[in-house]
Chains A and B, each alone.
Chain A
Amino acid sequence: MGQRKIFALTLAGKRVWSSVGDEVSESEVSSLTGLCTAVMGVCEQQGETIRSVSCGSGRIVCARRGELVFVAAGSSDCEAYLARELEYAYEAMLMALTSRVHKVLASSPGYDVKELLGSTGTVLSSLEAWGRTRPEPFLGAARAARLEASRRAQLAHVLASARKISGDLLVFGVALCGDAVLSVLQPTPTIERRLRSTDLLLLANYVRSQRAALVAAESSWLPLCLPRFDERGYFHAFVAYLDPAVDLCLVLVAADDKPETFATLRNVSKAIENALLRDGVLDALRDAAVEDYRAADRIAETAKADHFIFSRRRPLAAQPPKEPRAELALAQCLSARAVGTHHWAHYHALALRLRCGSAQPQHALATDPNTSAHDLFEAPLAASLVYATSNARTYFALTAPNFELYATFASLAPASDLAKRTHHILSLIKLEEPAFFFDPVSY
């Protein structure tokens, strides 16, 4: 069955969206959708839920979400990976349609959601393309754009005053550089209500996938749902590219779509732009855009790593009084430029082992045929560590309550050496932490 394909279907078996686009004819897709309808029908009849079907070397993973069914078919990917891809596809769809889509389908099961989705299909396609090569979906974290700490503070200040200028209309403010996040303005997070990193990365993907239209429009006013925040309704986002040359983009989110709100946000956007120009922040942001991956690449080079990805939930240099509760913090990630894609499959395998390992370490050790005793050991920290070797490379994963690190080393070094190099990466990140990551501005 070759390359992985993702489909979103209605319970009636109609295609809402697929990663293969329209070049695959409806009749080719029909056999897969028909099969899914049949298999799910049998399972439903037995009161069971189907999660995946194996056929030869291929695998089909299904997930039912309300009135929708998400199906991933692939030959080389593990179930957990495909399942997560489906979850993202579902959430990207909610971002465009809200959970109301279920109501419409429940009352008329034959409803053609494809039509409803319209051009936002490209949002899903772009997300799907991301899934392969980018750390954000893998780590469940938004990518932070690098910016000097003092500039970051200026930007934060500008966003905080934007909230005031807006007369409290502004709910969220996100400054993006390409698809990386420079800063975020948000309501003070609580356990019940908070901006999630998934919503933030979906937003970054959304903006990126609609870039051409957004740049052409100068400013846009879009209904947009943040599914993890609340999947039931739309926010309305004012999106403006301040500097298309370096993809500097401002997303100002309000909770209503009144024309006055639009007008207010347009003024706020203008005010932000002026403040940034005046303080020279815009120039610094332009440099940041150019800098992009370079700093992370330098770290990889210094620590003799081929590649690494890192995500952080809380500052490494913890500041106890200020430190937010880990679950309230926005996960942010950092990544060295990838050469090739070989490491992804290994990172996925390591992530899976870490997940299984925390539940049943002995079991994972005993049944994973690729694992021999020597390449699985516990770190002497409150962290979990796994590594694997393949083709003269060592793949390494370290997860702790406040961070995750995955790295590739071009050697078969002994474990103690790997630990040292990993620590090296961590200490280098820590040195530049205020530049690599942002503290959301909460009001």
Chain B
Amino acid sequence: MHRKKVLLKVIILGDSGVGKTALMNQYVNKRFSSSYKATIGADFLTKEVMIDDKLVTLQIWDTAGQERFQSLGVAFYRGADVCILVYDVTNPKSFDALDSWREEFLVQASPADIENFPFVVLGNKVDRENDRRVPKAKAQAWCKSKASAPLRYFETSAKEAVQVEAAFQEAAQLALAQENTEADFLPETINLGQPTPSHTTKSSCC
């Protein structure tokens, strides 16, 4: 069954400074700033895109990488349709952190089908190829190890708009294509013999 979803919720996760905000801004506003301003809590932008002749709205959540700014909690992970994991190719620590970001997400978002929940992995800042410290092959191996089908992997530059459009488009596509594997809504007929739920008796007289 292919369900019509008009709003797709995209969550971007990764260590502080890897370029999550820069990627979102490049994708939505086609802008890049080289100054760094830590994201506090979380922020979101909305963008409409065409996917397979269908107009969908992406609600893109940019989150705080710095732990002390994660004031919003994880409530907004709920019901995400796709998760974008970002690391910085010049920073191995940010790559090592991907595992825990992914796990945290799966715990908090508790998607119906954990095995097949769509992730897109981005190695950002490839414009600084000379400073690269995470080889492409290593990242690809990691992506392969995480699920039966390897996670999609892109090498991006928010600064020079390399592969940014393609990465988000892929994320949107995956979100949309995700099949509705959840339990169907089965109507249940009332059971008049069943005791009344207590809240009903408490609520007001009408």
Contact = CB atoms under 8 A, between A and B. Distances in A.
Contacts of A101: 185
Contacts, number: 153
A13 interface: yes
B57 A12 contact: no
Interface in A372-406: none
Contact of B196 (A42, A193, A234): A193
Interface stretch (B1-9, B30-38, B91-99, B131-139): B1-9
Contact of A42 (B6, B73, B79, B205): B73
Interface string A223-246: 101001111111110000000000
Contacts of A33: 7, 59
B182 interface: yes
A112 B111 contact: no
A45 B73 contact: yes
Contacts of B183: 104, 107-108
Interface in A161-206: 171, 191-193, 196-198
A233 B188 contact: yes
Q: Pick from B4, B42, B48, B206 the residue with the most CB of A within 10 Å.
A: B206
B130 interface: no
B201 A196 contact: no
B44 interface: yes
A235 B190 contact: yes
A38 B41 contact: yes
B191 interface: yes
A77 interface: no
Interface residues of B, number: 49
B75 A37 contact: yes
Contacts of B188: 98, 100, 232-234
A255 interface: yes
B80 interface: yes
A326 B111 CA distance: 48
A358 B58 CA distance: 49
Nearest to A142: B206
Interface string B8-47: 0100000000000000000000000000000001101011
B41 to A, nearest CB: 7
A441 B59 CA distance: 53
Contact of B189 (A27, A107, A257): A257
Interface string B125-163: 000000000000000000000000000000000000000
A233 B190 contact: yes
A438 to B, nearest CB: 16
Contacts of A108: 111-112, 182-183
Contact of B190 (A10, A14, A234): A234
A367 interface: no
Nearest to A199: B206
Given A30-B46, A38-B76, A232 B57 contact: no
Nearest to B74: A41
Interface of B: 3-7, 9, 41-42, 44, 46-48, 57, 59, 61, 71-76, 78-81, 109-112, 180, 182-183, 185-192, 194, 196-197, 200-201, 203-206
The 6 closest A-B pairs by CB, nearest first: A12-B79, A233-B190, A41-B75, A108-B182, A45-B73, A108-B112
